[in-house]
């Protein structure tokens, strides 16, 4: 497909479907696991592993609802589930001192970074599926539109670059936090660690939005230049 042809715009979004999809995604993949984990560990004395294992039931429920509702599996829920399972398994490894727990937390984000990098070898990278989750309302029309964008080389390059940056950033963040866990006092690191986690996430989110807009603008500029060149060539031919 020629890069001088502009990709089609997204179909009209269904407001109700989009809102319901967002509520289910955020509620079952983010809010419910966090609340469940905190309640079980802080108020009911559950172990980290047991609490994380039970928390993983929420993404499973989200996947089941998605299959029943739209007859397809939600990759975002699957990634969330895998992430929770990895976290639960990491919590079982080694000692359970305060420093060890900080190192384990860093290992989890590092594993997510490695997962991003590993998907660069897959037919489509991880950010393609994350992008589809947040750029569409989950309807067959919007999903088909997003999937169809893969035929454009510029879109493929954008998704792979985003996945590469997220992977490298989280691996670097994990290594930095592991090093700091052995350098800084535990009390200080307990404060620094979440700041780094959310700081990196916020920075990546802002960069992703900027990079996406930049690539879109570049595509429009190349298309305009190609159209101008074609018009000039046509004028020269008829002259």
Answer with the residue of higher pLDDT: 133 or 10: 133
Look at residue 2 and tell me if it is in a domain. Answer: no
- Residue in the block written with tokens 């420093």: 99
Pair (129, 71) in one structural domain: no
| 21-29: average pLDDT | 69
Domain presence at residue 5? no
Query: How many Å apart are CA 65 and CA 72, to the nearest integer?
Result: 10
Give 185 or 11, the one with higher predicted confidence: 185
Shared domain check, 204 and 99? yes
Report d(CA 202, CA 190) in Å as an integer: 19
| Number of domains making up the chain | 2
**CA distances from residue 162 to 38, 121, 166, 177, 205 in whole angstroms, order as listed:** 32, 14, 6, 22, 10
Reading the block at residue 225, the tokens are 């230049």
* In a shared domain, residues 71 and 135: no
Residues 134, 235, single domain; the answer is: yes
Last residue of a domain, one of 46, 74, 93: 93
pTM over 0.75: no
Burial (CB count <10 Å: 0-12, 13-18, 19+), residue 216 = middle
The answer to whether residues 100 and 88 belong to one domain is no
Q: Which of 33-37, 109-113, 215-219, 227-231 has the lowest mean pLDDT?
A: 227-231
In a domain, 8, yes or no: no
Residue with tokens 């780094």: 196
Verify that 58 and 176 share a domain, yes or no. Answer: no
Among the listed ranges 168-172, 188-192, 233-237, which one has the minimum average pLDDT value?
A: 233-237
- Asked if 18 and 115 sit in the same domain, the reply is no
108 domain-assigned: yes
Mean pLDDT over the full length of the chain: 77
- Region 77-82: what's the mean pLDDT? 66
Residue 76 within any structural domain of the chain: yes
The tens digit of pLDDT for each residue in 195-211 reads 887 788 889 989 998 99
Enclosing domain of residue 198: 95-239
121/174 same-domain check: yes
The pair of structure tokens assigned to 144 is 């088909």
Last residue of a domain, one of 61, 93, 125: 93
* Size (the chain), residues: 239
Asked if residue 153 and residue 226 are part of one domain, the reply reads yes
Q: Which of 33, 61, 93 is the last residue of a domain?
A: 93
Residue 6, pLDDT above cutoff 80? no
Q: Which of 230, 237, 222 is nearest to 6 (CA)?
A: 222
Q: Is residue 86 predicted with pLDDT exceeding 80?
A: no
Whether residues 89 and 182 share a domain: the answer is: no
pLDDT tens across 138-166, in order?
A: 677 888 888 999 998 989 999 999 999 99
| Between 176 and 227, the higher pLDDT residue | 176
User: Do residues 163 and 71 share a domain?
Assistant: no
Q: Measured between alpha carbons, how far is residue 236 from residues 155, 177, 230, 231, 232 in Å?
A: 33, 62, 10, 9, 6
Do 100 and 157 have their domain in common? yes
């Amino acid at each position: 497909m020629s890069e001088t042809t502009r990709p089609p715009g997204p179909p009209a979004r269904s407001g109700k479907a989009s809102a319901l999809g967002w509520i289910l995604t955020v509620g079952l993949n983010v809010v419910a696991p966090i609340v469940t984990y905190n309640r079980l560990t802080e108020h009911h004395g559950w172990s980290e592993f047991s609490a994380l294992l039970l928390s993983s039931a929420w993404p499973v429920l989200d996947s089941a609802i998605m299959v029943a509702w739209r007859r397809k599996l939600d990759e975002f829920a699957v990634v969330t589930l895998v992430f929770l399972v990895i976290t639960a398994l990491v919590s079982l490894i080694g000692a359970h001192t305060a420093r060890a727990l900080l190192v384990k937390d860093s290992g989890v984000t590092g594993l997510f970074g490695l997962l991003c990098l590993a998907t660069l070898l897959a037919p489509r990278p991880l950010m393609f599926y994350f992008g589809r989750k947040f750029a569409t309302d989950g309807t067959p029309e919007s999903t088909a539109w997003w999937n169809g964008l893969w035929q454009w080389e510029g879109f493929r390059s954008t998704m792979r670059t985003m996945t590469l940056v997220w992977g490298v950033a989280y691996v670097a963040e994990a290594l930095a936090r592991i090093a700091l866990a052995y350098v800084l006092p535990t009390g200080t690191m307990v404060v620094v660690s979440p700041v780094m986690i959310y700081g990196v996430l916020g920075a990546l989110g802002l960069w992703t939005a900027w990079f996406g807009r930049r690539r879109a603008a570049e595509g429009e500029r190349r298309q305009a230049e190609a159209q101008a060149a074609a018009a000039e060539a046509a004028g020269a031919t008829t002259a």
